[in-house]
């Protein structure tokens, strides 16, 4: 998997110049490996100080420390999941790869996945349209886009293979996906809906981010559907790569001082 992984990283690096990719990632629902999870709860002790247990929950801390700790846990989880998939491939195809005199990566790529990484013109055009790549940049980035799409296709094929193997073999995990709950202070942030609602949705957003714009439409649909049954709040999160994001957020704060109703109208116009 190392060679496969390095190819993917090279392709991703090559596409780093395509700025439009920064906020246009699509979240696709893909089937996940069928592993049995037997996780340890956050209440289990991880350390002991003077006879008193220290749990994962206590180690997380609060505020920014908690966010950083949670991000570290997610990275460890992703690394573990990747390694479980690799070991599964090794257990299933390792011996066959040795007999064939090839590495595990090469065996899986050529004998199992069959090296089918062709990208059709239709798929290429669809990708360019979805990512909103400017027409004047397509010719210059064509080779890089094809390289990225091929690596993405191989990655998806590898994931499908791991899903298939996870159904055929019993795999138990003794770790779970980290769940880091945050206490978010609404403060003077713009709100909409029922103040004492048990359900609160907090939108962290950037007014110049295309992906945030699509997410904002979902928030609008929820507002229409549930109205005052739940509370919505907005938190400014301007990203440094968007030059107009910070001025827009500052303007939004000024509008909010005139009332939440005016803020939400301004919010909807910016995301329209």
The model's pLDDT over 58-98, given as tens digits with 9 standing for 90+, comes to 999 988 898 899 999 999 999 999 999 999 999 999 999 99
Domains in the chain: boundaries: 2-173, 191-270
Residue 45 has a pLDDT of 87
The distance between the two most distant Cα atoms of the chain, rounded to a whole number of Å, is 74
CATH topology of domain 191-270: Glutaredoxin (3.40.30)
Burial class of 256 by CB neighbour count within 10 A (0 to 12, 13 to 18, 19+): buried
Q: Give the model's confidence band at 19: pLDDT under 50 very low, under 70 low, under 90 confident, else very high.
A: very low
pLDDT higher than threshold 80 for residue 165: yes
pLDDT of residue 28: 52
87: which residues sit within 8 A by CB, 6+ positions away? none
pLDDT of residue 2: 45
What average pLDDT does the structure give for the chain?
Answer: 84
At 35 the pLDDT is 92
pLDDT of 200 above 80: yes
Give the residue with greater pLDDT, 231 vs 5. 231
Structure tokens, 76: 């460890």
* Coil/strand/helix, residue 42: coil
For the full predicted model, state whether its pTM sits above 0.85. Answer: no
Q: Tell me the average pLDDT across 231-247.
A: 90
């Amino acid at each position: 998997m190392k060679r496969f992984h390095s190819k993917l990283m090279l392709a991703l690096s090559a596409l780093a110049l395509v700025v439009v990719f920064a906020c246009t990632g699509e979240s696709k629902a893909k089937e996940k490996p069928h592993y049995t999870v037997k996780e340890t709860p956050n209440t289990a002790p991880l350390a002991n100080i003077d006879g008193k247990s220290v749990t994962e929950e206590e180690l997380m801390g609060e505020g920014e420390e908690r966010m950083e700790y949670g991000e570290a846990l997610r990275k460890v989880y992703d690394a573990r999941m990747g390694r479980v998939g690799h070991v599964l491939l090794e257990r299933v195809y390792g011996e066959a790869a040795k007999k064939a005199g090839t590495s595990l990566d090469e065996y899986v790529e050529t004998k199992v996945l069959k090296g089918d990484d062709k990208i059709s013109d239709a798929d290429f055009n669809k990708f360019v349209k979805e990512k909103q790549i400017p027409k004047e940049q397509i010719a210059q980035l064509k080779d890089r886009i094809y390289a990225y799409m091929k690596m993405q296709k191989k990655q998806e094929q590898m994931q499908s293979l791991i899903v298939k193997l996870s159904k055929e073999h019993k795999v138990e995990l003794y770790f779970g996906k980290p769940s880091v709950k945050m206490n978010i202070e609404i403060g003077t942030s713009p709100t909409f809906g029922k103040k004492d609602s048990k359900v609160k949705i907090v939108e962290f957003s950037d007014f110049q981010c295309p992906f945030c714009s699509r997410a904002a439409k979902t928030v609008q649909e929820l507002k229409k559907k549930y109205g005052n049954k739940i509370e919505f709040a907005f938190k400014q999160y301007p990203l440094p790569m968007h030059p107009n994001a910070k001025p827009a957020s500052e303007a939004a704060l000024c509008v909010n001082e005139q009332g939440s109703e005016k803020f939400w109208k301004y919010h909807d116009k910016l995301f329209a």
